[in-house]
Chains A and B, each alone.
Chain A
Amino acid sequence: MFNSFIISFKLRNTYRVNSIIYSIKQLPLIKKILQNSLYKNKGLKILGNVISILIEIGNIFLGKFIYILAMIVGLLGIAKTSKPDTFVHIFTFLTMIGALLNTYMFNPSKDKYYAMVLMKMDAKKYTLSNYYYIMLKLLIGFLPFTLMFGITSGLSPLICFIMPIFVITLKTLFNTYLLLDYKKTGKARNENLPTKILWSLVGIFLIAGYGMPILGIAINQTIFLIIFLITTIIGIFGFKYIINFNEYKRMYKALLTQSNVYIMQTQRNSQILQDTSLKQIELDNKDTSNKNGFSYFHDIFVKRHKKILTKSAKKTATITLFIFIAFIAIIQLYPEIKTKTNDFTLKYLPYFVFIMYIINRGTVVTQAMFMNCDHSMLTYRFYKTPKVILSLFKERLKTLIKINLFPAIVIAIGLPLILYLTGGTDNPINYAILFTSIIAMSIFFSVHYLVLYYLLQPYNINIEMKSSTYTVAQTITYFVCYAMLQIKMPTYIFGISTIIFSFIYCIISLILVYKYASKTFKLRI
């Protein structure tokens, strides 16, 4: 059995190292330097192995550290119950949720598919040896942090010590249940597709886990100890059942179907992406167009995608409007917050970069453009001529700007209005700056997304991502916008800078599109 484990571990490590090398290869610039023979390169393999080990260690410890810190310790303050009781209470319920959603055994993962289906390894040996390994990882990973956080929260060391054992006991119990269920029904549950009942249980446990302590109810350490003893005794029987279970091979044959398995995920993801996109098309016979040529083509595209284009933008605009109305009502009811609000509108305009980023429909719209239109049209030669690309770009830019302006206008009017209602400003030009800078941000994001798409279109005909530059650019956009949340600057200065920046950015990027889009806007090969 140990041999099985070593083989499966090596196998998992090999493809993990290869995927690391693959990811390195996908980075812009680097991919031009590196070649395919790279997978044989020793130095790089070593680097891959080091990263792989770091991932495994991170996997063992870091995840547990963050989990206990964020899900338990960080939230102890919200409860009325004592710290140790709350800790043990939340831990118990979260562990129950974890047992339901994360069984390991019933996760149709890529490594299982490789080992048991492709390499025809002995299913029982493979499953059991890896199951022990996973349980050991849980035990080692949890122990330092249950001890560290538990003791500092006032739990007894004994309780802290048995907590990790409780985790594996519950997992063992639920796995036993699923094996029994398989034996009875012949159906192997896929843990990635939880049933409605399972979701409801998760919901109940979640509410019980956090809700009860807020109301002042929590189990204490003694009750936890009793629960632990009972589950452990049953767990021992469960464990015996898992060891003696003899139908792993048949069960995994049912579970590791192609549609379930991770190995197909890239393909499946693009398929799902495409299917979802295609579902967004709505055929309403009234939606025709009197236009001609590309305007006709684009007009119908917009009409058939109302749901994700205009309707959705109008919805955001309506919600924004309600938020403003509610806020204005609050200001009237509680005049004491006026000064703070006034201060906010005059100093925190950078916040709105992030808000405008969030409500911008650029990503969704360009994705639909690709999936439902360009993906197929770019295979036609006439569609790739510079004249056609640019005329369609113009139509699209107009539409995208228009769509994003719906919510933008609400904000652009709402902000100066709030400024006015909370006491106004010494410098009336601030009203104009608030209005114009919000509109400028909205136009900026519309241009930004469409230009990125036209200059960096990353997909090939099979909807596989062939360039990571686009993702990198999008990530940078996110971080820059997020970083704006940290900035505090007078609206006067930030607003004017935003307007100037947006203007220059739009001009430059439009020039780039006019110059390069005919070369860059194509399917990757």
Chain B
Amino acid sequence: MKLIVKNIKKNFDKKEVLKNLNFTFEQGKIYGLLGRNGAGKTTFFNCLNEDLKIDDGEFYIEDKENKQRKLKAENIGYVLSTPNVPEFLTGREFLKFFIDINKDKIKNKKSIDEYFEFMKIEKEDRDKLLRDYSHGMKNKMQMLVNIIADPNILLLDEPLTSFDVVVAEEMKQMLKNIKKDHIIIFSTHIMELALDLCDEIVILNNGLLEEIDKNNLNNSEIKNKIIKALKEETNV
């Protein structure tokens, strides 16, 4: 399965934020999306998630038989940097509700407690109001809900920044475990994280997407290459 992005354009007023995006994202890989502040990473995600209407271009899924189809709501999971969960529900109720309404789509359905175990959410926290969860725990819940629905594509916008080191490591491992069935696009400012976790590095700068070829380079050489690419493109 592939996610194909073709000639995507998006302007705000007269500012061209996404000039002409072309890229093919493949299943089984984690893509690290790097870009400077205001480069348009979130705009790109919002376009893919259809929160924003694109001005031009298209994006679609191409399955194993090379058949093309439009993205449906259930194909995409979008985890935001600030966790958003319905604060009036308990963790358990949120999961029950979510499983209820997605019961036809969830493959290999597990029990609620198994999901909690999977995300390492402690027993005593499961029946607390989400309002009273810590930032990191809310983030875990948001991630969990997006994973349960098992969308083909996972968009993660700076998702690990609010976790402590232990949980961040757990989450990284979890993403590595689930990547073979998904296309994961991971936006971040932290280069080390991108290099450590991601299979491919993609740069969004000056309204364009560009893949950084990592072949035969060590980490510090890749870093230099990324910085150079970011600087050069800004000066165009």
**Chain A residues at the B interface, C-beta cutoff of 8 Å:** 35-36, 278, 281, 283, 292-294, 296-297, 300-301, 304-305, 372-373, 375-377, 379-382, 384-385, 388, 461, 522-523, 525
Contact = CB atoms under 8 A, between A and B. Distances in A.
Contacts of B50: 381
A356 to B, nearest CB: 28
B78 A300 contact: no
A294 B77 CA distance: 20
Interface string B77-104: 1101010111111100100110011100
A36 B15 CA distance: 10
B51 A523 contact: yes
Contact of A376 (B49, B78, B86, B129): B86
Contacts, number: 70
A461 B84 contact: yes
Contacts of B78: 379-381
Interface in B17-51: 46, 49-51
B131 interface: yes
B149 interface: yes
B13 interface: yes
B158 to A, nearest CB: 14
A376 B101 contact: no
A296 B131 CA distance: 18
Contact of A381 (B52, B77, B101): B77
B97 A297 contact: yes
Given A35-B14, A293-B97, A382-B101, A525 B46 contact: yes
B144 interface: no
Contact of A35 (B13, B89, B93): B13
A466 to B, nearest CB: 13
Given A382-B149, A461-B82, A278 B74 contact: no
B97 A296 contact: yes
B51 A382 contact: no
Contact of B13 (A36, A301, A384): A36
B76 interface: yes
Q: Most A CB atoms within 10 A — which of B74, B86, B97? A: B86
Contacts of B49: 381
B145 interface: yes
A283 B82 contact: no
B46 to A, nearest CB: 6
B87 A281 contact: yes
A293 B88 contact: no
Interface of B: 13-14, 46, 49-52, 73-74, 76-78, 80, 82, 84-90, 93, 96-97, 100-102, 129, 131, 145, 149
Nearest to B49: A381
A277 to B, nearest CB: 9
Contacts of A461: 80, 82, 84
A283 B87 contact: no
B101 A372 contact: no
14 contacts: A35-B14, A278-B87, A283-B129, A294-B101, A296-B96, A304-B88, A375-B84, A377-B86, A379-B78, A380-B84, A380-B145, A382-B74, A384-B73, A522-B51
Query: Counting chain B CB atoms within 10 Å of each CB, which of A283, A294, A305, A382 scores highest?
Result: A382
A139 to B, nearest CB: 46
A525 B76 contact: no
B129 A379 contact: no
A18 B73 CA distance: 41
Nearest to B71: A381
A523 B80 CA distance: 14
Contact of B52 (A296, A297, A525): A525
A284 to B, nearest CB: 11
